[in-house]
Chains A and B, each alone.
Chain A
């Protein structure tokens, strides 16, 4: 029941928000949908949820982690949207809220589905739910961004569907299993046809990797993140990528169980390293804050893919890194959104001296900077450390060295721009912006969450992370 409700509640809220024409009801629908979802997720942690539709929908450790991450991030974004909708009324107001809630429903479907086509349907639905949100300004720049996003994501995901069908073909050797159901794929893993499975994994990785934003399929990312409003950017960089990560992780799970780990792991490592290189190259000298964050997102997705590819403790690090990345990206995009909400920020925005104008948002940007670059004591430090130590323990010294060097470059690139924005001379000094509590509380909460993850990981979460790592062929450190 909980499983169905997790999808149905946000979907119904989306319909409700669209049916209700009055502008003042939009925020309440959004918050209501988000809060109910968080409550349902909390219930799912506490009780055994069983399975629905003969195992098509189920909740394992990996799905639960992604679901909780998305749900928490969405709740924060929803509370932020209350303040945002007071300041700005995005075009097509009720469609804006409706699309946000539809995204939550689709993301829940991704997290819950244990059937590969269902997973695909959910992921494609997330793509489509987000498209109108990027497009909301209806000007040339957002048109260009949404077009690139739509074409690249759709093509990527079409290739992923081909990969899914390849997977079904690989299953022909085990006719007793229900087609494309995760549990049956894992049970019959040894009897899957290796050639088809390899082909399937390549297509799945390229397809879902496009949605994750792994280089070289990342080119839609800077444009889409750059043009989307801050809260949508946060949701895309935090939640959409987490869903795509889950899809890649599920493919990895099947491949590892079938014993083709030695074939797929170098692929994951290669995509991961390439993403880091591309991110480092484009972060240096980048002036647009949101594009900066987009390349940082490419970097973090690369790190997660790398963790999956390295195996052992790397898988634990990869999953933990996905959580951290979601919270940090949410924090940064919301903080940047705050900064850009001020009328003097032009297009393309030229900013500086945020700390003196809007102290809390400036502080949030600073915290975000240190969290996103993996500095202690934030959670990102732990997860990056786990991935790096997996590289060392596996004897991949050159990988570890390359990653360390690239992380240093990325730190410099991010710090140069963000410190400039935070500290630089204020264009109109003495004029302080009024920072609404709605716009601050959410990002502060996310900052706290990343800090807590760096200091202390609760027992239940640790067990879930370990179970997820084991499912991906690794282990807890």
Chain B
């Protein structure tokens, strides 16, 4: 099912663009949840002779990245009564444009890389593009919750690259990575919740009390 994999990868990149272009926080979270769902389906599409290992990875990823974490983030928005806009430091149009540049750069870089055989052509550029866009969201969005979304996208990109080795790296290891990401985002979510209660805003740009002199 190579076509299906390419389609999924394309959709992964498109969801990144949704995060870049949307004005609404809830859309950001829904987009990253959808991205999680796509990531969960990818191992099955890439390695169709599905061993138990592949299935475990797919189910675990979907559960954590498409269900639990997005729900938790939505809960944080609701409970902390956050204003619903993204409030970027870089405008939406420019963000989208830079997103396109990132994808182009990712494709350009990966054609120059000496890739091992049996790697799908789209996988590595899609991974790099997601990493770059995730970093970009982290840097240019001042709202703490959107930064968490950016971090999740960054992790998704790394995960995509990891899929090139899914048959060689044992499941236990992937489970450990997934668990770490899960706990990390969970703690971030709790901190976000407290930031909002203390500062009446999720704007990490207001976190400026600690400086030298």
Contact = CB atoms under 8 A, between A and B. Distances in A.
B180 A121 contact: yes
A432 interface: no
Tell me the dominant secondary structure on chain A's binding face.
Answer: helix
B165 A132 contact: no
A223 B209 CA distance: 10
A117 B173 contact: yes
Nearest to A285: B213
Contact of B165 (A118, A162, A168, A196): A168
A117 B173 CA distance: 6
Interface in B174-209: 176-177, 179-180, 183-184, 187-188, 191, 194-195, 198-199, 204, 207-209
Interface in A99-144: 115, 117-118, 120-121, 124-125, 127-128, 131-132, 135, 138-141, 143-144
A374 interface: no
B114 A148 contact: no
Contacts of A287: 213
Given A162-B158, A168-B169, 19 more contacts: A115-B173, A117-B169, A117-B177, A118-B176, A121-B180, A132-B187, A143-B195, A144-B209, A146-B191, A147-B204, A154-B151, A155-B154, A165-B158, A165-B161, A168-B168, A179-B165, A195-B114, A222-B212, A285-B213
B147 interface: yes
Chain B interface bracket (under 10, 10 to 19, 20 to 34, 35 or more): 35 or more
B43 to A, nearest CB: 15
Contacts of B131: 162
B135 A155 contact: yes
A121 B176 contact: yes
Given A125-B180, A147-B144, A155-B138, A118 B173 contact: yes
B166 to A, nearest CB: 11
Interface residues of A, number: 48
Nearest to B157: A162
A209 interface: no
Interface in A260-308: 282, 285-287, 291
17 contacts: A117-B173, A118-B173, A120-B177, A121-B176, A131-B187, A141-B209, A143-B195, A143-B199, A143-B207, A147-B207, A150-B188, A155-B135, A155-B154, A165-B162, A179-B169, A193-B114, A195-B114
Contacts of B161: 162, 165-166
A115 B179 CA distance: 17
Interface of A: 115, 117-118, 120-121, 124-125, 127-128, 131-132, 135, 138-141, 143-148, 150-151, 154-155, 158, 161-162, 165-166, 168-169, 172, 179-180, 193, 195-196, 222-223, 226-227, 282, 285-287, 291
B23 interface: no
| Shortest beta-carbon contacts, A-B, top 5 | A172-B116, A121-B176, A144-B207, A124-B180, A179-B168
Contacts of B158: 158, 161-162, 165
B56 to A, nearest CB: 16
A162 B155 CA distance: 9
Contacts of B74: none
B26 interface: no
A226 B210 contact: yes
B113 interface: yes
Tell me the dominant secondary structure on chain B's binding face.
Answer: helix
A223 B213 contact: no
A169 B164 contact: yes
B182 to A, nearest CB: 10
B155 to A, nearest CB: 6
Nearest to A173: B116
Contact of B198 (A139, A227, A291): A139
A404 to B, nearest CB: 25
B147 A151 contact: yes
Nearest to B169: A179
A100 B177 CA distance: 21
A150 B208 CA distance: 16
Contacts of B198: 139-140, 143
A238 to B, nearest CB: 22
A135 B147 CA distance: 19
Given A118-B173, A151-B147, A291-B212, A128 B187 contact: yes
B169 A154 contact: no
A144 B206 CA distance: 9
Contact of B177 (A143, A161, A286): A161
Given A165-B162, A169-B165, A196-B114, A121 B177 contact: yes
Contacts of A148: 207, 210
A291 to B, nearest CB: 7
Contacts of B155: 158
A151 B207 CA distance: 13
